[in-house]
């Protein structure tokens, strides 16, 4: 039976990507050597890194003057690297609190200086995105998280500001078009829309670096990694390779504009059923609903075991909600086919029919 993988991350990847990646683990580039046992300095892997960076630049239309890095440590390390590199000594940063990961980034930034939390949705368990807030003009940067996987809310637009803008796009990078020139730094863990866990994409405007006045440890300095082409130390070889394959898959199928249309269709189908079906209710404000993570609750908790049995029998995996929200979370990342969403919707309809 086909498994419909709605996992929140690490996430589903395209089948053809998995086939190519599995082959490369045995014999990469006709070398009769495994991808994971060759030198990262070899001509074959250097070509992989260069191709991955080139695809990022092409797919997101990254302007000149920006560097593209593949690092390690996930978004959690970026919570530290961002203030280390961009918050000046004696300066401050502005943060938007839209959920668990935004909150973690705020806690790390406070180790480096003053943090102005310009708005927070904590009062409603992060079920919405704050809209009316002021970004202080004297902030060294403004940080936001574009999509919240746990609570199922997503920023549909970004504020206009003269302050450097930083965004954690870990869970919706490459899912929709974005104007990179609006940001001075974008970072994203690979394990949602790009590849397996272990690689982190960073897109940074070169001119904002080297101005913090801090003595930054070499590994935590973006300029170190730029100067070494993401190979200051041994890079995460396999995650970078699979990310390259996934980005090539995205390009071959029509790029970000193509997948944005597909993602809109998946989200529309899913939310229409949540709103129509009297046995379920959504958890996020309608205008802020995430196209990546649809969170919903059963009207009657006692009915959950019966619904759980039905979706498991249908070959559906990974829709249990996060413990802080409960209920269900259908994560619809780029590689999840529309067919899988239809399967889940059909189960919800059948559940209504049997319960009704």
Q: Which of 97, 168, 184, 288 is catalytic?
A: 168
From the list 97, 172, 176, 192, the catalytic residue is: 192
Distances (CA, A) of 267 to 96, 194, 322, 338, 344: 25, 19, 19, 9, 12
Residue 71 CA to residue 230 CA, distance in Å, equals: 7
Residues for the chain: how many in total? 356
Q: How many CA atoms lie within 13 A of 47 on its CB side?
A: 7
Reply yes or no on whether 281 is catalytic. Answer: no
- Interatomic CA distance for residues 151 and 283, integer angstroms: 8
Active site residue 132: no
The CA-atom distances, in angstroms, between 54 and each of 60, 72, 244 are 10, 19, 9
Decide: 199 and 239 in contact? Cβ < 8 Å.
Answer: yes
Q: Active site residue: 92, 97, 101, 172, which one?
A: 101
- To the query of whether residue 101 is one of the catalytic residues in this protein, the response is yes
CA distance 204 to 87: 15
CA distance 72 to 70: 7
Phi, psi of 283 (to 5 degrees): -105, -20
> How far is Cα 246 from Cα 205, in angstroms, rounded to an integer?
24
Active site residues: 101, 168, 192
């Amino acid at each position: 039976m086909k498994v419909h993988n709605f996992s929140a991350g690490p996430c589903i990847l395209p089948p053809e990507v998995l086939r190519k990646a599995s082959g490369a683990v045995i014999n990469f580039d006709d070398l009769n050597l495994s991808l994971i046992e060759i030198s990262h300095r070899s001509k074959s892997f250097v070509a992989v890194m260069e191709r991955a960076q080139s695809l990022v630049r092409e797919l997101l239309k990254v302007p000149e003057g920006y560097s593209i890095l593949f690092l390690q440590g996930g978004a959690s390390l970026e919570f530290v690297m961002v203030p280390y590199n961009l918050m000046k000594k004696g300066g401050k940063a502005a943060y938007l609190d839209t959920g668990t990961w935004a909150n973690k980034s705020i806690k790390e930034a406070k180790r480096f200086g003053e943090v102005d939390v310009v708005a927070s949705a904590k009062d409603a368990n992060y079920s919405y995105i704050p809209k009316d807030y002021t970004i202080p003009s004297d902030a060294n940067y403004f940080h936001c998280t574009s999509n919240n996987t746990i609570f199922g809310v997503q920023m549909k637009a970004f504020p206009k500001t003269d302050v450097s803008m930083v965004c954690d796009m870990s869970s919706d990078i490459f899912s929709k078009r974005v104007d990179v020139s609006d940001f001075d730094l974008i970072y994203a863990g690979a394990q949602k829309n790009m590849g397996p866990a272990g690689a982190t994409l960073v897109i940074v405007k070169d001119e904002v670096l080297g101005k913090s006045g801090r003595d930054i440890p070499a590994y935590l300095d973006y300029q170190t990694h730029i100067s070494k082409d993401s190979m200051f130390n041994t890079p995460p070889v396999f995650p970078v390779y699979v990310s390259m394959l996934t980005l090539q898959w995205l390009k071959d199928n029509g790029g970000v504009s193509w997948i944005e249309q597909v993602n809109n269709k998946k989200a529309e189908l899913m939310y229409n059923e949540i709103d129509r079906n009297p046995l379920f209710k959504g958890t996020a404000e309608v205008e802020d609903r995430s196209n990546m993570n649809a969170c919903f609750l059963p009207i009657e908790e006692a009915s959950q075991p019966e619904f759980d049995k039905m979706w498991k029998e249908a070959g559906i995996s990974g829709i249990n909600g996060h413990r802080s929200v409960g209920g269900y979370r259908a994560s619809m990342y780029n590689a999840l086919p529309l067919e899988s969403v239809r399967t889940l919707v059909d189960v919800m309809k059948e559940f209504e029919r049997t319960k009704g």
